[in-house]
A and B are shown apart, each in its own frame.
Chain A
Amino acid sequence: DQQVKQNSPSLSVQEGRISILNCDYTNSMFDYFLWYKKYPAEGPTFLISISSIKDKNEDGRFTVFLNKSAKHLSLHIVPSQPGDSAVYFCAANPGAGSYQLTFGKGTKLSVIP
């Protein structure tokens, strides 16, 4: 049973526009969420995170929104740049001393110049 779902395997966006990547989760115990970016043949790089006590976190061009009642989070990239083209993974942690992250299957973002 997939507890973290990224329902869009791919997304194409024009350079300069907004990219919105979505993630849904089923486990109500998750209380910390992260986004990672991964280029081919490289390891994932941490991008941004959000705790369940917040509904928004911003870092430069990247903003993560969390809707706990809908069990949904999204990553907004504004403006999108060609270098943002990568696979984006959503991950969740249930807290309470848990060591593990549960990852979604990823969304491949292509930013078209």
Chain B
Amino acid sequence: DVKVTQSSRYLVKRTGEKVFLECVQDMDHENMFWYRQDPGLGLRLIYFSYDVKMKEKGDIPEGYSVSREKKERFSLILESASTNQTSMYLCASRGGGKETQYFGPGTRLLVL
């Protein structure tokens, strides 16, 4: 079974703080993704990485950056958190030539 883990389930931060969300997958998948989920908006892609040290912007990259130094780990960084970044953040991985993405449990971030 594919396992995708995220560093925190719940996080509370202050406006202006730098926030790190970490994601680790154990299936040697090449591709990793960060989404945010908001009510009525579905899942929106923030960034993805198709290989180590490679990254591509998704649909809503503004205010975010990412880092992928190792194949199994993909980090999402909020350089200066704002209240409109309060959301559920979901990490996913994909590999082995298959289309299916496998998701982690999510991090619910509240920015005050």
Interface residues of A (CB under 8 A from B): 9, 32, 34, 36, 41-46, 49, 89, 93, 95, 99-101, 103-106
- Given the interface contacts A41-B106, A41-B108, A44-B90, does A105 sit within 8 Å of B41 by beta carbon? yes
The residue from A95, A99, A106 contacting B48, defined by CB atoms under 8 A apart: A99
Within 8 Å CB of A42, what residues of B? 105-106
How many residues in B have their beta carbons less than 8 Å from beta carbons of A? 26
Q: Does B112 make an interface contact (CB < 8 A)? A: no
| Interface CB pairs A-B, < 8 A, 12 | A32-B99, A43-B4, A43-B103, A46-B101, A49-B100, A93-B99, A99-B48, A99-B50, A99-B56, A101-B45, A105-B40, A106-B42
The residue from B43, B44, B58, B108 contacting A44, defined by CB atoms under 8 A apart: B43
Within 8 Å CB of B108, what residues of A? 41
| Contact (Cβ within 8 A) A44 B103 | yes
The residue from A49, A99, A103 contacting B42, defined by CB atoms under 8 A apart: A103
- The total number of A-B Cβ pairs within 8 Å is 50
The residue from A9, A101, A106 contacting B101, defined by CB atoms under 8 A apart: A101
CB proximity to A under 8 Å, residues B44-79: 44-45, 48, 50, 56, 58
From A46, A99, A100, residue with most partner B Cβ within 10 Å: A99
Apart from A46-B100, A104-B42, 12 more pairs, CB < 8 Å: A32-B99, A34-B99, A36-B103, A41-B9, A41-B108, A44-B43, A44-B90, A89-B43, A99-B31, A99-B56, A101-B45, A105-B41
